């Protein structure tokens, strides 16, 4: 079992996590990334208890390593009143695992520091060919032969069509602006993760990142804005003028250069299979490449980490057969992925409805339903 070779395409959360898992199992890993550097963005994100459990299984403590701040309560508000609120503790009730807000760049750093000696990183490598006969991945001038190719190349994965041609990326019809405010300028420290649903299908959320500052995210209908950061900033000010405190304070505390704009898309339908055997080995999809979900429930990174931990479990279970391990991986992952993807899409559709529809649904949905759904999203445990 010595010197087994794997190629991981993409060094996002999913690629880094799977490289860690494979390296721990003794595989020699070539990690191919098109960007020049392995670096996460200056953003904040929610990592649910399920994702925190997956991180721990990789040897990363979200709180210590990734500047994670435990979330006390999740709150959903209409702009005029609280709609739903539940203690985050109930999500990790079984084992007390917290959900956390993490600083994305620090999460990346924590993962990169765990890569280990078996992983060779090849930055500035844009994979544009996967050989499905003699399994290998490569770019215009190089080729990496492998027993296992892990495609963790993100939501626009050029690899996904090889396995699941009927699962395209769908435009969600909204765009998200995210801000990260340094600690000394953060207007409000809160242990809650709050999202406010307002008029015209706009939403604004915020949370705390401890010494890394505070973060906010603003979702508005439409496509990516072509204007300069300064003009985008002015538009955000206009769109969220008159919103309740502390929305204006967060925006005022942010500089245009601290804004990031992201298109919002998801994979639909979810691929019916996530892998393809090739000879004695195989190709497998992980993370957004497999199942980019609508980000409204903040599940994508957690799912990516769970994928990697489950791949490690499957390869440990049947070390003698990669195809058998990949089949176990599919069986272990698909039901959960589909459940999360369906719920994320449904909630996204509700949130994208007209003002009246969203508002009355927010009023009508009982707290207990929201809590049960949230608990079922975060109940994942690493397989044994």
Ligand X SMILES: Cc1cc2nc3c(=O)[nH]c(=O)nc-3n(C[C@H](O)[C@H](O)[C@H](O)COP(=O)(O)OP(=O)(O)OC[C@H]3O[C@@H](n4cnc5c(N)ncnc54)[C@H](O)[C@@H]3O)c2cc1C
Interface positions with ligand X (CB under 6 A): 9-15, 32-35, 45-47, 125-127, 152-154, 158, 176, 262, 264, 287-289, 295, 298-302, 304
Is the CA virtual torsion 286, 61, 314, 34 positive or negative? positive
Q: How far is the CB of 356 from ligand X (least distance, A)?
A: 25
Greatest extent of the chain over all pairs of C-alpha atoms, in Å? 63
Residue 358 or 378: the one with the smaller Cβ distance to ligand X is 378
Paired tokens of 380: 């994942």
Say if residue 64 is exposed, middle or buried (CB neighbours under 10 Å; 0-12, 13-18, 19+): exposed
Residue 209 or 304: the one with the smaller Cβ distance to ligand X is 304
Residue 264 or 362: the one with the smaller Cβ distance to ligand X is 264
Residue 10 or 282: the one with the smaller Cβ distance to ligand X is 10
Q: How far is the CB of 264 from ligand X (least distance, A)?
A: 5
Residue 212's nearest CA partner among 279, 175, 146, 258 is 258
Q: How far is the CB of 307 from ligand X (least distance, A)?
A: 8
Q: How far is the CB of 160 from ligand X (least distance, A)?
A: 11
Q: Which long-range contacts (CB under 8 A, 24 or more apart) does 62-65 make?
A: 62/100, 62/102, 62/107, 63/98, 63/100, 65/106, 65/107, 65/109, 65/110, 65/113
Q: How far is the CB of 272 from ligand X (least distance, A)?
A: 19
DSSP string, 132-156: TTTTEEE-SS-EEE-SEEEE---TT
- What does DSSP say about strands 169-181 and 214-221: parallel, antiparallel, or unpaired? antiparallel
Residue 37 or 363: the one with the smaller Cβ distance to ligand X is 37
Instruction: Count CA atoms closer than 13 A to 136's CA, side-chain side.
Output: 10
Q: How far is the CB of 107 from ligand X (least distance, A)?
A: 10
Residue 76 or 176: the one with the smaller Cβ distance to ligand X is 176
């Amino acid at each position: 079992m010595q010197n087994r070779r794997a190629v991981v395409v993409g060094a996002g959360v999913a690629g880094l996590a799977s490289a860690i898992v494979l390296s721990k199992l003794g595989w020699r890993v070539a990690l191919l990334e098109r960007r020049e550097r392995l670096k996460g963005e200056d953003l904040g994100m929610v990592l649910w208890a399920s994702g925190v459990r997956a991180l721990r299984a990789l040897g990363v403590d979200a709180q210590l390593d990734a500047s994670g701040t435990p979330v006390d309560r999740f709150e959903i508000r209409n702009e005029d009143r609280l709609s739903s609120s539940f203690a985050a503790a109930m999500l990790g009730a079984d084992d007390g695992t917290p959900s956390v807000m993490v600083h994305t760049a620090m999460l990346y750093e924590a993962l990169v520091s765990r890569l280990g000696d078996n992983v060779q990183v090849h930055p500035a490598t844009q994979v544009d060919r996967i050989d499905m006969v003699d399994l290998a991945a490569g770019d215009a001038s190089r080729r990496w032969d492998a027993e296992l190719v892990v495609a963790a190349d993100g939501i626009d994965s050029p690899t996904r069509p090889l396995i699941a041609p009927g699962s395209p990326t769908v435009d969600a019809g909204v765009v998200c602006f995210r801000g990260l405010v340094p600690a000394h300028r953060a207007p409000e420290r809160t242990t809650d993760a709050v999202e406010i649903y307002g008029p015209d299908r706009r939403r604004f959320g915020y949370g705390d990142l401890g010494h890394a500052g505070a973060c906010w995210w603003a979702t508005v209908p439409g496509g990516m804005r072509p204007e300069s950061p300064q003009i985008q900033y002015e538009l955000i000010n206009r769109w969220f003028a008159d919103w309740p405190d502390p929305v204006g304070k967060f925006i005022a505390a942010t500089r245009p250069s601290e804004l990031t704009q992201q298109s919002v898309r998801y994979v639909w339908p979810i691929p019916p299979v996530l892998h393809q055997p090739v000879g004695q080995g195989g190709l497998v999809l992980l993370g957004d490449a497999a199942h980019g979900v609508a980000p409204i429930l903040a599940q994508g990174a957690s799912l990516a980490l769970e994928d990697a931990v489950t791949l490690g479990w499957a390869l440990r279970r049947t070390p003698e057969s990669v195809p058998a391990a990949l089949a176990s991986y599919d069986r272990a992952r698909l039901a959960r992925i589909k459940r999360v993807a369906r719920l994320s899409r449904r909630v996204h559709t509700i949130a994208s409805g007209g003002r009246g529809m969203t508002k009355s649904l927010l009023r009508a949905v009982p707290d207990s339903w929201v809590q049960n759904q949230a608990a079922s999203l975060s109940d994942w445990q690493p397989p044994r």
